[in-house]
Amino acid sequence: MRFTNGTLLTVLKDAIPYIGAGAIVRQLEIKRQQLADIEEEIRLQQAQQEELSGWAGRLADKTTRYQNMAGQLSLPFTIRELELTLEDFLAELARLDLTELEQLKQEYEYWQGRQKELEKQVRQTGVKKALVGEELTRRSGELDLQSTRVGEAEQSWGMPFGEEYAANLTRLLEDKKYKDWYPVLEAMLRHRKRL
């Protein structure tokens, strides 16, 4: 919420820009680099403190000794400040919400698996399509063969069209000696009924 001209306004969620997984990863890299820089600075300060403490005992001049002591006395405070800064960075790293990044990874893996499934289905559909095409070609050939047989039967028997033709086909179907021709005769009868 925010105030504008003394009026309390609610900030809409959409008004705040979205921070994606890439930005979160980049922030983590920056924080890790800063953490490494601070640790390096702490090591340098500690090395300098050890070096200065060694020199403090060797110097005979009291002024130099006092100046070194002043520098050495300020080092613990500097080290403590750096340690506090390091703790702040570590706490901030711990507070970063990585659940969104994990969700994005899971969603990516899901869609990769889905893509593989769909590619497999496409391949299977292609195989089925080829089989259906072969079946269609085979049945078309059978239909052409039946049509040819019907045409040959019509020519050889010389049957007239119309009611008399249908009656003759029915009579032939009932006759047992033409039982091998039943499919052809039935097809002819169906064909004539359509006319």
Kindly report, residue by residue over 89-142, the tens digit of the pLDDT.
888 877 777 777 788 888 889 988 888 998 898 888 888 888 888 888 888 888
Residue 87 belongs to domain spanning: 2-99
User: Which pTM was predicted?
Assistant: 0.28
Whether 101 and 20 have beta carbons less than 8 Å apart is answered as: no
Handedness of CA 42, 44, 47, 52 (dihedral sign): negative
In a shared domain, residues 75 and 138: no
pLDDT at 177: 67
Q: Which residues pair with 7 in a beta bridge?
A: 4
Q: Which residues pair with 4 in a beta bridge?
A: 7
More confidently predicted of 82 and 164: 82
In a shared domain, residues 158 and 93: no
In a shared domain, residues 16 and 82: yes
184 within a domain of the structure (yes/no): yes
93 within a domain of the structure (yes/no): yes
In a shared domain, residues 81 and 148: no
In a shared domain, residues 93 and 8: yes
Round to whole Å and give the CA distance between 2 and 90.
Answer: 30
Which of 99, 115, 141 is a domain's end point?
A: 99
28 within a domain of the structure (yes/no): yes
In a shared domain, residues 16 and 95: yes
54 within a domain of the structure (yes/no): yes
In a shared domain, residues 79 and 142: no
Whether 166 and 150 have beta carbons less than 8 Å apart is answered as: no
Handedness of CA 143, 146, 148, 150 (dihedral sign): negative
Secondary structure (3-state) at 3:
strand
For 36-60, what is each residue's pLDDT tens digit? 999 999 999 999 888 877 766 666 5
Domain total in the chain: 2
114 within a domain of the structure (yes/no): no
